[in-house]
Amino acid sequence: MATTTAKNSINISNLNVSVSDNHILKDVSLTIPDRKITCIIGPSGCGKSTLLKTINRLVDHIEKVKVEGQIVVDGEDIYGKKVEITHVRKKLGLLSQRPTPLPMSIYDNITFGCKIHGVRGKKRLAQIVEKNLRSAGLWDEVKDRLHSPASNLSIGQQQRLCLARGLAIEPQFILGDEATSALDPISSRHIEDLFLQLKEKYGIILVTHTLRQALRIADYVVFIYLGRVIETGAAKEFFNNPQHELTKQYLSGVFS
């Protein structure tokens, strides 16, 4: 269902998500901008990952899940009755907490989603592989072993491969769920630097437990506590001048 909401953004209105009798997200309303890095922060179990999975419709796989409210991506209500889920997920590339390379070659990992969406031709696919491995800062490291198993890569390389795989389907937004938490500090900073480059083309939404990471790279911050959005704002203002007492306590380390 089309709406009059501005395109190139994600607009969430009165979102409630429950699993069985557990009310996880409560009346969440947000606008997430394009070509910015939005960091979602908050203590463990507050609903951050559930919000990300709801945006990508991965909660569809959870038994007894109930979603109410509206999420509009690029002017389209992604929970509308006639929405095709594969089409929705093409708009929203997801990078998980731990690298999830497919059990196939580096080349086939990149082209897998493209083929699902109808891309054909060896030359075209080869161009896609090189372009997106370059975007993920991995091309020079793997260009001579594209047909070797992706499982042979280091953990940091696997995460960059997963990023390249997500970029290959040309999403509008990149979603990262603790995308650097399983990586060593050098690999983690490499991924952060890639996000800073990629925001020139994509909106990026990152769930993070690490306030230092949000301080380094966020343009916009969303603070969630017990399933509710407590405070949002531009990163500099959010960190330097928090308005809500709960935000002040969280940032000062009273709870985590």
Q: What is the pLDDT of residue 1?
A: 36
Return the bridge partners of 28, or none: 15
Question: Is 212 exposed, middle or buried (CB count within 10 Å of its CB: 0-12, 13-18, 19+)?
Answer: exposed
Instruction: Annotate 41-50 with b (16+ C-beta within 10 A) or e (fewer).
Output: bbeeebbbbb
Residue 54's pLDDT is: 96
CATH of the domain at 238: 3.40.50.300
Instruction: Give a yes or no: residue 2 inside a domain.
Output: no
Residue 185 lies in a domain: yes
* pLDDT for res 256: 81
How many residues belong to the chain?
A: 256
Confidence of residue 6 (pLDDT cuts 50, 70, 90): very low
**Where is 175: in which H helix or E strand?**
strand 173-177
pLDDT, residue 82, reads 87
> What's the average model confidence in pLDDT over 17-21?
95
The conformation of residue 150, written as its DSSP 8-state character, comes to G
- 236 inside domain: yes
Phi, psi (deg, nearest 5) at residue 195: -60, -40
Instruction: Tally the domains of the chain.
Output: 1
- Domain residue limits at 194: 9-47+57-252
Q: Per the domain annotation, does 198 fall within a domain?
A: yes
Tell me, rounded to whole angstroms, the distance of Cα 243 from its chain centroid: 26
CB-count exposure of residue 149 (10 Å: 0-12, 13-18, 19+): middle
Residue 1 in domain: no
Residue 148 lies in a domain: yes
Is 52 within the bounds of a domain? no
* CA dist., res. 74 & res. 203, Å (int): 11
Instruction: Count CA within 13 A, CB hemisphere, residue 221.
Output: 29
Regarding predicted confidence, which is higher, 242 or 4?
242
pLDDT in tens, 143-183: 999 999 999 999 999 999 999 999 999 999 999 999 999 89
Two tokens, residue 1: 């269902």
In a domain? residue 4: no
Percent of the chain with pLDDT over 70: 97
- For the ranges 5-9, 76-80, 236-240, the maximum mean pLDDT occurs at 236-240
Residue range 60-107, pLDDT digits in tens: 989 999 999 999 998 899 999 889 888 888 899 889 989 999 999 999
